[in-house]
Amino acid sequence: MEQKGGRGQQLGLSLFGLLLFLLSMPLFLQMGGGRWLLAEVLPGQVPHGSLSVQSLWSEEETTKESAAVAIWGVKDVEFEQKHEIHGDGEGLGITAEVLEKMKDFSYLKSNFYTVDARTTLLEGDINVDQALSMDFSIQPTTKEPKILIFHTHTNEDFVDSDMSKGLDEGICGVGEELKRILEEDYGIGVLHHTGVYDVVNGVGQRTGAYERSGPAVEEILKQYPSIEVCIDLHRDGVPDDVRLVTEVDGKTCAKMMFVNGICRLSKNGQPEPVSWLDNNYIKQNLAFSLQMQTLAGQNYPGLTRKIYLNPYRFILHYMPRSALIEVGAQTNTKQEAKNAMKPLAKILAEVLLNDTP
């Protein structure tokens, strides 16, 4: 009997403790706890400023529903529409006829984009004439950096990578190859930043990597005001039986994918802006990737997958010429990924050194 009473007391104390926790939750959120709660659920999408209680609660339902798929970085963009990576593998060759078709929103959306199930692409998001005529040109020079290449997931590797030999065995080595080609062939100065943001206290931790890389990117842009282009270079995560390859000029290349974050979540079937995200360059970001995708279709059919639209932001809000680019996946070889850098450099150069694609 005494033991049962003791258990009853313990249960009562536990329930009392739970009640105190629930009653204190609003105060916890006001003191900044909301940012702590969301930081690991939506990595890279929590602004440096504090979140308001109202914004936290307004996103609560969507956050709960999408938490399982919202963690960008567990397998990068292995998104729900997995059939997209099993397609016929042929890119869209852009002709005058296709350019005219692109003005039809349904055609544009179905042929150029994979839209994450948690968001939507609206007809007003992209005006094809404006997007393809937007001027992204820069003045090339190697005296100062014009392009920043970095890797939020620095330790992403390939099927034959030996990361014990150093970061060059993975996506960083691919970034170094892109830097070399842009500088040697096109005279565009590149700063290749290899800071590590997917390891915490010696342990791999991709969740939260965007929060950790953001301040470093901001500091670099302050230090080098000459930079006009930001490229976050990744490799994707796909099922082990999928290989994203095509042939360009006799070389086997890893397929690539441009990624855009549009800061919009669907709630109760209706698209709503994510109130605690800010990106003044969404239209420019979309135009930048569309110009590159269009050029890829013209010159290298099959090289790129459809542009992937994600509901969040990543590191795309620092300037108009910002891009997140996935190069192959964990099933590709290092050389296949590096081979893709020559056509990617040419695509970038055509956009950046000319007014229109």
Which stretch of 55-59, 95-99, 109-113, 138-142 has the lowest confidence by average pLDDT? 55-59
pLDDT-derived band at 9 (thresholds 50, 70, 90) equals low
Residue 201 sits at φ, ψ, to 5 deg, of: 55, 40
Residues 6+ apart with CB under 8 A from 230: 147, 148, 150, 217, 221, 315, 316, 318, 319, 321, 322, 323
Sign of CA dihedral 123, 230, 199, 37: negative
Burial 200-238 (b: 16+ CB within 10 A, else e): eeeeebbbbbbbbbbeebeebbeeeebbbbbbbbbbbbb
pLDDT number for residue 269: 81
Top pLDDT among 267 and 72 is at 267
259: β partners: 308, 324
Top pLDDT among 10 and 222 is at 222
Give the C-alpha separation, 67 to 80, whole Å.
13
Q: Is the predicted pLDDT of residue 90 greater than 70, yes or no?
A: no
Q: Which of 149, 140, 231 is nearest to 187 (CA)?
A: 140
Q: Is the predicted pLDDT of residue 70 greater than 70, yes or no?
A: no
Give the C-alpha separation, 139 to 12, whole Å.
71
pLDDT number for residue 20: 58
Give the C-alpha separation, 249 to 333, whole Å.
18
pLDDT digits (tens, 9 = 90+) for 149-207: 999 999 999 999 999 999 999 999 999 999 999 999 999 999 999 999 888 888 888 88
The domains of the chain are located at: 2-70, 82-352
- CA dist 347 to 158, 171, 355, Å? 23, 19, 13
225: β partners: none
Q: Is the predicted pLDDT of residue 83 greater than 70, yes or no?
A: no
**Which amino acid is residue 286, in one-letter code?**
L
pLDDT number for residue 65: 33
- CA dist 102 to 48, 112, 164, 291, Å? 38, 9, 46, 12
> What CATH number does the domain located at 82-352 have?
3.40.630.40
